[in-house]
Chains A and B, each alone.
Chain A
Amino acid sequence: MDDSDILASLKARRRRARIAIHLWRAAIVLAALVFWQAGSGPLFNPRWFSNPIAVAIVLAQDLASPAFWAHVATTLAEMAAGFVVGVPLGAIAGLAYGCARRLGPVAYPLVIGIYSIPLVALSPLFILWFGLGIKAKAALVAVTVFWLIFFNVAAGLAQVDRELLAAIRQLGGGRIDAWRLVILPSVAEWFFAGVKLSVPYALVGAVVAEMVASSDGLGYLATRAASFLRMDALYAVVIVLGVLGVLLNGIAERIEGHFGRWQPNRQVRL
């Protein structure tokens, strides 16, 4: 066996491993669908559980209808608006909290107290403040995202390597150098982890807010389907939400990966 053969066989092995993952995934989904279809009737009441074929038909109709996509767009717009507000505010507040050595311990119980308020409880309040439109939902997403980013950034600041800071000072660096070379890059890692974590929570926030009071968005569709006992339509929305979650997570992972090129687990060691 010469080098090219070895390389080819290593590549083939990796390819087989990747195919195996896809096959397993497909097999699990298929098994669940078969169980659902076959069990709907004999095992559980089709009135509440519907069945995959019925759901697929509704889903196909949904995907073909511009009105459905408008609802998807509404939910995504609420998420995006919430992100645009929540991420920078969370990052700034996290940095401020982490930097304020004296204020930090004073504020800690207050922060935890406010953080502990269930967001669903705030939802009616936001509706009063911001009305029934996109603003109230975006506000709920923003608050959700704010806390995740806040705690991640504050924790990241606490974890900054003191030895690296000392080294930069020793090598002739000032305050700005310390921030530029050490603090911000090491907090960035935590920040992006927070952003990634925020994506599914933001989706949940938007949908929950829509369920409380709304006339569009995927949360509204789900509530409407449930109130008409249209289980097939409800499951179709749930599936779309799941797929959205996977897609958005993929995007977040891409972004995080781009900024984490230096990290050891993303590289081949020499």
Chain B
Amino acid sequence: MIAWTGLSKYFLAPDGQAIQVVDDITLDVQRNEFVSLVGPSGCGKSTLLNLAAGLDTPTRGTVLFDGAALTGLNRAVGYMTQKDTLLPWKTTGENVAVPLRMRGVPRVDCARMVAKYLALMGMDGFADYYPAQLSGGMRKRAAIARTLIYQPDCLLMDEPFGALDVQIRLLLQRELARILESEGGANGKTVVFVTHDLREAIALSDRVVVLSARPARIKYDRRIPFGRPRDPLSVQFLPEFDVIYKELWDALESEVGKGTDA
């Protein structure tokens, strides 16, 4: 569904040097696959998502989406950036309705959909709150609702639960898994998930890809054998989980703190 092929990306640093953030990555995410990218901070994970969303262009190589090379913005994906991008001057309900309103969906249908998706995220009764009145966890839920409501087949999620405390995080991981499994239905959902939490990656994914320190290369690519539907919390108590964790950690360990701004 998404394929980064022979992809390299350079940025111009303020001092005039070219910095390579991605080095010749070839990675193919299958339809309905949940793939996590893990790697040290600043290694270029977010860059890969930006490229897949068409917000940035590769220096070398191409990004294929559904078999066609991306040119310009990719609106077929739902992209959740690290910082939630709710509009502060709109209420939660209005924010969630934004993608539908922009697609010309009539107000009545919008209201029905918004109610449905807020309920799905456990946010009944919060439609009239402004983002500034919500907790961090609630804002994430609203952002997820806003992405899911227009039903993109493919989700790009950049550390969606990064800044949350552990309890809320586990809860939202569980809800995300539940929603993707129920929402996905016959057509399923493809997810590329960036995190630096290895446990989160293993618990949620069908496949975990470990990236090296900058410039990002593929260090390790591991299939996660837990089936679906699955509960991301309880799989963490399976003996196999620790084996996989150890394996991935060994791959990651040597990269952490390697000449990055970590």
Contact A163 B85 (CB under 8 A): yes
Contact A262 B85 (CB under 8 A): no
Q: Which of B77, B85, B99 has the most CB of A within 10 A?
A: B85
Contact A263 B132 (CB under 8 A): yes
Cβ of A178 to closest chain B Cβ, rounded Å: 10
Give the distance in Å from the alpha carbon of A163 to the alpha carbon of B85 in the complex: 7
Give the distance in Å from the alpha carbon of A166 to the alpha carbon of B50 in the complex: 11
Contact A268 B133 (CB under 8 A): yes
Contact B79 A170 (CB under 8 A): yes
Q: Residues of A contacting B132 with CB < 8 Å?
A: 262-264, 267, 269
Proximity bits, A257-270, B CB within 8 Å = 1, else 0: 00001111001111
Q: Which of A170, A172, A263, A268 has the most CB of B within 10 A?
A: A170
B69 located at the interface, meaning its Cβ lies under 8 Å from any Cβ of chain A in the complex: no
Q: Residues of A contacting B131 with CB < 8 Å?
A: 262
A84 located at the interface, meaning its Cβ lies under 8 Å from any Cβ of chain B in the complex: no
Give the distance in Å from the alpha carbon of A263 to the alpha carbon of B89 in the complex: 7
Contact B130 A261 (CB under 8 A): yes
Cβ < 8 Å to A, chain B residues 76-107: 77, 79, 81, 83, 85, 87-90, 98-99, 102-103
Partner of A163 from B83, B98, B129 at Cβ < 8 Å: B83
Give the distance in Å from the alpha carbon of A174 to the alpha carbon of B53 in the complex: 16
A245 located at the interface, meaning its Cβ lies under 8 Å from any Cβ of chain B in the complex: no
Contact A171 B150 (CB under 8 A): yes
Q: Residues of A contacting B134 with CB < 8 Å?
A: 270
Give the distance in Å from the alpha carbon of A27 to the alpha carbon of B138 in the complex: 47
Contact B133 A181 (CB under 8 A): no
Report, as a range, how many residues of chain A touch the other chain: 20 to 34
Residue of A nearest to B156 (CB): A170
Cβ of B148 to closest chain A Cβ, rounded Å: 12
B19 located at the interface, meaning its Cβ lies under 8 Å from any Cβ of chain A in the complex: no
Q: Give the size of the chain B interface in residues (CB under 8 angstroms).
A: 27
Cβ of B133 to closest chain A Cβ, rounded Å: 5
Proximity bits, A4-30, B CB within 8 Å = 1, else 0: 000000000000000000000000000
Contact A270 B81 (CB under 8 A): no
Partner of B87 from A164, A174, A261 at Cβ < 8 Å: A164
Cβ of A91 to closest chain B Cβ, rounded Å: 18
Cβ < 8 Å to B, chain A residues 147-193: 161, 163-164, 166-174, 177, 181-182, 185-186
Give the distance in Å from the alpha carbon of A181 to the alpha carbon of B83 in the complex: 18
Contact A172 B133 (CB under 8 A): no
Give the distance in Å from the alpha carbon of A167 to the alpha carbon of B83 in the complex: 11
Partner of B102 from A161, A164, A172, A185 at Cβ < 8 Å: A172
Contact B130 A262 (CB under 8 A): yes
Contact B73 A170 (CB under 8 A): yes
Cβ of A135 to closest chain B Cβ, rounded Å: 38
Cβ of A270 to closest chain B Cβ, rounded Å: 6
Cβ of A180 to closest chain B Cβ, rounded Å: 10
Cβ of B174 to closest chain A Cβ, rounded Å: 22
B234 located at the interface, meaning its Cβ lies under 8 Å from any Cβ of chain A in the complex: no
Q: Residues of A contacting B133 with CB < 8 Å?
A: 264, 267-270
Contact B88 A170 (CB under 8 A): no
Give the distance in Å from the alpha carbon of A185 to the alpha carbon of B131 in the complex: 15
Partner of A181 from B53, B98, B130 at Cβ < 8 Å: B98
Tell me whether A169 and B87 are in contact in the complex, defined as CB-CB below 8 angstroms, given that A181-B98, A263-B132 are known contacts: no
Proximity bits, A238-270, B CB within 8 Å = 1, else 0: 000000000000000000000001111001111
Give the distance in Å from the alpha carbon of A52 to the alpha carbon of B53 in the complex: 71
| A-B contact list, 14 entries, CB within 8 Å | A163-B85, A164-B85, A170-B73, A171-B146, A172-B150, A181-B90, A181-B98, A262-B130, A264-B132, A264-B133, A269-B132, A269-B133, A270-B129, A270-B138
Given contacts A166-B55, A171-B146, A174-B102, 8 further A-B contacts (CB under 8 A): A167-B79, A171-B98, A172-B75, A172-B102, A185-B87, A263-B88, A270-B133, A270-B134
5 nearest A-B pairs in the assembled complex, by CB-CB distance: A167-B85, A264-B132, A262-B130, A185-B89, A171-B99
